[in-house]
Amino acid sequence: MAYAYVQKGFGLFSTNVITWSQATGAGNLLVACFVKPDNGSTEFVSSLAGNVNASQAWVSAVGTINTIGSKIITGSGTSNFATATLVYLPGSANAGGDTTTTFTVASDQSGNRFIGAMEFSGIMSASPFINYNWASQTNAGTGSNALSSGNVNVSTAPALVSGFGYSINGGLTTGGTGTGFAGRGISSATSAYIWGEDMHVGATGNVACTFTDNQATDNTLAIGLAFAEAGVSATLWSQTCL
């Protein structure tokens, strides 16, 4: 069956909570991106818990799949440094009913953090993760699809390709959604530090998550993740980003 987008969740600035617009559905995939900019630390998420289901097996989509807390880092100094953590909760571990998800941050420090999350139905319940890719860019410009995750190798189809874009200057808007993707505007309705998007992929191959920034001067991340839709078996493809 084809996947369906259910809802978005978000958390901004000093909060440690993802707020969902409605209770999460049992058996659905939850995927989240946490970004901590500007302070030069290597802070990352160490655990997550729902307000109804306190014990949930969220897993990391970066590095070792079974370890929460892997991180990607871009830039240096205080103006363009960011640590991002990518995590997901497979349907087999999602009992549903949560309206918030609280996360614990290792080496927690004061300062802003930005969280985007999305919920999808129709995804393979157990071990749905296929692959991911990401890229950081500085001053990529305002050209269409100028921000790109690089190719995500979709080795199993049909699949969901879910993307997160991060702009340190809040430069992602409705017009910033990548060509062919459905935009999910996470941080606000008009401009965003984190912007979500997704696409159904019917055949194996490479797919890049792209975004258009409305800020010519900006530091950005573009991230893409692929998950197998229900009724197929995921073929995990791993890589190391340098």
* Model pLDDT for residues 117-157, shown as the tens digit of each residue: 999 999 999 999 999 998 888 889 999 999 999 999 999 99
pLDDT at position 240: 43
Assess if residue 63 is contained within a domain.
yes
Measured CA to CA, the distance from residue 58 to residue 36 in angstroms comes to: 19
AA identity, residue 139: N
pLDDT at position 41: 56
pLDDT at position 47: 79
Measured CA to CA, the distance from residue 223 to residue 163 in angstroms comes to: 5
Task: Tell me the percentage of the chain whose pLDDT exceeds 70.
Answer: 77
pTM above 0.85, yes or no: yes
Residue 105 has pLDDT above 90, yes or no: no
Give the range of the structural domain holding residue 55, as residue numbers without chain letter. 4-228
Specify the 3-state DSSP secondary structure of 91. helix
* Count of structural domains, the chain: 1
Task: Specify whether the CB–CB gap between 44 and 71 falls below 8 A.
Answer: yes
Residue 66 has pLDDT above 50, yes or no: no
Confidence of residue 65 (pLDDT cuts 50, 70, 90): very low
Task: Specify whether the CB–CB gap between 228 and 214 falls below 8 A.
Answer: no
Confidence of residue 43 (pLDDT cuts 50, 70, 90): low
Residue among 73, 67, 6 at smallest CA distance from 241: 73
Cα 139 to Cα 154, 169, 221: the distances in Å are: 28, 11, 11
Task: Specify whether the CB–CB gap between 100 and 32 falls below 8 A.
Answer: no
Q: Which residue has better confidence, 171 or 29?
A: 29
- Residue for token pair 């296929």: 130
Q: What is the mean pLDDT of residues 11-32?
A: 88
pLDDT at position 39: 54
Assess if residue 41 is contained within a domain.
yes
Task: Specify whether the CB–CB gap between 53 and 98 falls below 8 A.
Answer: yes
Note the pLDDT tens digit of each residue in 50-59.
999 888 888 8
Assess if residue 61 is contained within a domain.
yes
Measured CA to CA, the distance from residue 66 to residue 15 in angstroms comes to: 26
Residue 81 has pLDDT above 70, yes or no: no
Assess if residue 197 is contained within a domain.
yes
> Strand pairing partners for 8?
118
Assess if residue 28 is contained within a domain.
yes
Assess if residue 80 is contained within a domain.
yes
Assess if residue 208 is contained within a domain.
yes
Assess if residue 114 is contained within a domain.
yes
Note the pLDDT tens digit of each residue in 184-225.
988 654 556 789 999 999 999 999 999 999 988 888 889 999
